[in-house]
Chain A
Amino acid sequence: MIPPIVLHGLIYGGVAAIALLTLTAWGIWFERKFAGRMQSRLGPTMVGWAGLLQPLADVLKLLQKEDLVPAQADRTLYLLSPPLTVFFTLATVAVIPFGVDVAVANLPIGVPWILAFSGLMVFPVWTAGWASANKYALLGAMRAVAQGISYEIPMLLTALVPVIFAGSMNVNEIVRWQAEHHWIALWPPGPGLFAFVIFFLSCLAEANRIPFDIPEAESELVAGVTTEYSGMRFGLFYLAEYLHTLVASAVASALFFGGWNGIFGLPDGIHWMLAKTLTLFFLITWIRWSLLRFRADQLMRICWTYLVPASLALVMISALWVHYAPQLGPMWGG
């Protein structure tokens, strides 16, 4: 006899994973096409109807390639790393509320759960780079770790801002609070919006997206961590990157933009969550194809000298606001 909570987790988890992987395939199509339009890359806008066959063509090409393992490599870790990146990314999905009370697990520790698993992401990336027995891969892995554990700090601190406002670590409760009061990015003018910007930048850095893709800077490191990987194992890294981008967009829209809460009094529901997530995904894609890559030291300086102090200040301002705003009257308290 399986307890209902386990059954709920299995069914919702399965559905969420399949839906997200499908959405990721769509995301890859969108990005290929968008990049094609922006930078005159002719292929992806033409394969099949509106370029819809491009993801299929990508996957077919990856499947045909030989699954290579370098002779010097640490075989187990080398083979294990790519699936683990996908696993850790999917694990974060568990606590994201997609609709009104629709989540794989309604955990009281949603926010720390998300942060813990996105912190674990550096492990498979690092082991992949180390196990490849390749200098470029190792350098890429070192950079990935340095970047990952640095940007985790502003990400963690800014994720505390919604927690302070809503008074709960349950992501679903945070969204519910926003539905009852106001979106955290909009009302207390300042802290919410700035916290969102810093959170968003840190997510980009954690997902190794341009302008923070130093670990796989192809102009200096061949392909960084993924240098030795071929075929579908490379494909899994690719998949994890897109999945991470989508999940980060979903987390940001749940924490700062009211998740499933509709605008102008329109009915709440999963469509709002989807719309907000895809808008942020679009923004990330736009940034990727418009900007250049930072230098490694600039990247670290941005994090440690601007983002970390700024997010500490934001946490303090939010705490003061929550403490003193109710005394200013009902208009301010929210």
Chain B
Amino acid sequence: MIDRIAFGVVALLLLLSALRVVTSKNLVHSVLWLGLTLVTTAGAYLLLSAPFIASIQILLYTGGVITLMLFGVMLTRRGEDIAIPNESSEGGRALILSLATFGLFTGAVLKTPLPQEAPPFTGSTAELGREILGPNLMAFEVLSVLLLAAMVGAIVIARRRDPGSQRPSLGLRIEAEAKSQEGKS
């Protein structure tokens, strides 16, 4: 019984917050709703007896969401108003696309035979670890190489700048200044 209630609350929160992500008129609100959506997804994982995935979901996505928000504010902020507009114009096409995705997922869920009872709430972390580092080691390693490639790419893009305008960072300049002051005295 309490499972059902918990599922109802999580599902409702998930739907509402996901809806608010796209309907919010303010970028920061949108991103905060996205944060709530991801945290509620962790709640759904918890109800599915996957506590490790749930905590990792919170751990990883909070960092991601907060970074997204920072970029949202730093790249789009104009003027003095704290409200950052977040207008969407492609409503019709987005609706078709999301309906199609919904249909696809619904079809997949209906076709898959699912267990009727939730598996017992145990620490599944050890089995998960053995599964990942045992039979699925190859896929796991390929994934980490992919992430490494993404990281290297990001660094290369971030470091590419005009060679003429290279200035040391503020901290280095302050330190150089302090050193030259020390040299004088």
Contacts and interface: CB of A to CB of B under 8 A. Distances in A.
Interface of A: 3, 6, 72-74, 77, 107-109, 112-113, 115-117, 119-120, 122-123, 126-127, 130-131, 133, 142, 145, 148-149, 152, 156, 169-170, 295-298, 301
Contacts of B82: 72-74, 130-131, 133
Contacts of B62: 116, 119-120, 122-123
A190 B137 CA distance: 31
21 contacts: A74-B26, A77-B28, A108-B52, A109-B123, A115-B55, A116-B55, A116-B59, A119-B59, A119-B62, A120-B62, A122-B66, A123-B32, A127-B28, A130-B73, A130-B82, A145-B70, A149-B66, A295-B171, A295-B174, A296-B171, A297-B169
A130 B28 contact: yes
A3 B52 CA distance: 23
Contacts of A72: 80-82
Contacts of B54: 109
Given A116-B62, A119-B63, A126 B123 contact: no
A54 B78 CA distance: 45
Given A109-B123, A295-B171, A298-B171, A142 B59 contact: no
B136 interface: no
Among B28, B39, B170, which residue has the most Cβ atoms of chain A within 10 A?
B28
A127 B33 CA distance: 12
Contacts of A169: 52, 123, 125
A156 B174 CA distance: 32
Given A112-B55, A130-B82, A145 B66 contact: yes
B122 interface: yes
Given A72-B82, A142-B70, A112 B28 contact: no
A116 B26 CA distance: 26
Contact of B52 (A112, A131, A133): A112
Contacts of B59: 112, 115-116, 119, 156
A214 to B, nearest CB: 12
B2 A123 contact: no
B127 to A, nearest CB: 12
A149 B125 contact: no
B109 to A, nearest CB: 27
Nearest to A78: B82
Among A107, A108, A115, A148, which residue has the most Cβ atoms of chain B within 10 A?
A108
Interface of B: 2, 26, 28, 32, 35, 39, 51-52, 54-56, 58-59, 62-63, 66-67, 69-70, 73, 80-83, 122-123, 125, 169-171, 174
B63 A301 contact: no
B97 to A, nearest CB: 30
Contact of B171 (A117, A142, A145, A301): A301
A170 B81 CA distance: 46
A73 B174 CA distance: 35
Contact of A126 (B39, B56, B66, B83): B66
A298 B66 CA distance: 23
Nearest to A127: B32
A295 B62 CA distance: 26
B48 to A, nearest CB: 14
A126 B69 CA distance: 10
Contacts of B171: 295-298, 301
Given A112-B59, A116-B58, A133-B82, 12 more contacts: A72-B80, A73-B82, A74-B82, A108-B52, A108-B123, A109-B54, A117-B58, A119-B63, A126-B66, A127-B32, A169-B123, A297-B169
